[in-house]
Amino acid sequence: DVKVTQSSRYLVKRTGEKVFLECVQDMDHENMFWYRQDPGLGLRLIYFSYDVKMKEKGDIPEGYSVSREKKERFSLILESASTNQTSMYLCASRSSWLDNEKLFFGSGTQLSVL
């Protein structure tokens, strides 16, 4: 089965720190995504990438950037963490074949910014 691995399950950072969230998938998927999930707001797309070095903004990209240097790895970067970025971050991957839109999620990183 597909495995999507996020580097940390829990992370505590201070305001202003630069934060890296790493995600690795092992199924050679072209598409990778970063979402955040907040109570009452559901999952919101931050950024996605449909191939190496390709990226597109999602619905809430402000305050975030991403990096996709290798196909299996998609990194989310908080250049200067703020308290309103405290959230559950979920990475996902998917094959780009049109008949296979199933998303595979990592187990999430609960980030707290103090």
Partner 1 sequence: RKEVEQDPGPFNVPEGATVAFNCTYSNSASQSFFWYRQDCRKEPKLLMSVYSSGNEDGRFTAQLNRASQYISLLIRDSKLSDSATYLCVVSLAYSGAGSYQLTFGKGTKLSVIP
State the minimum distance, in angstroms, from the CB of residue 78 to partner 1: 20
C-alpha span between 114 and 105 (Å, rounded): 26
Candidates 18-26, 62-70, 73-81, 92-100; binding stretch for partner 1 (CB under 8 A): 92-100
- Answer yes or no whether residue 105 interacts with partner 1 by CB under 8 A: yes
Could you tell me which stretch among 12-20, 65-73, 74-82, 89-97 binds partner 1 (CB under 8 A)?
89-97
In the chain, which ranges are E strands?
A: 4-6, 10-13, 19-25, 31-38, 42-51, 54-57, 64-70, 73-78, 87-94, 104-105, 109-113
Choose which of 43, 52, 60, 77 interacts with partner 1 (CB under 8 A): 43
Establish if 48 lies at the interface with partner 1 (CB under 8 A): yes
Interaction of residue 55 with partner 1, rule CB under 8 A? no
- Binding residue for partner 1 (CB under 8 A) from 21, 23, 31, 93? 31
Which residue lies nearer to partner 1 by CB, 85 or 109? Answer: 109
**Whole-number Å distance between alpha carbons of 65 and 27:** 24
| Alpha-carbon gap, residue 17 to 33, rounded angstroms | 23
Tokens of 74: 């998609």
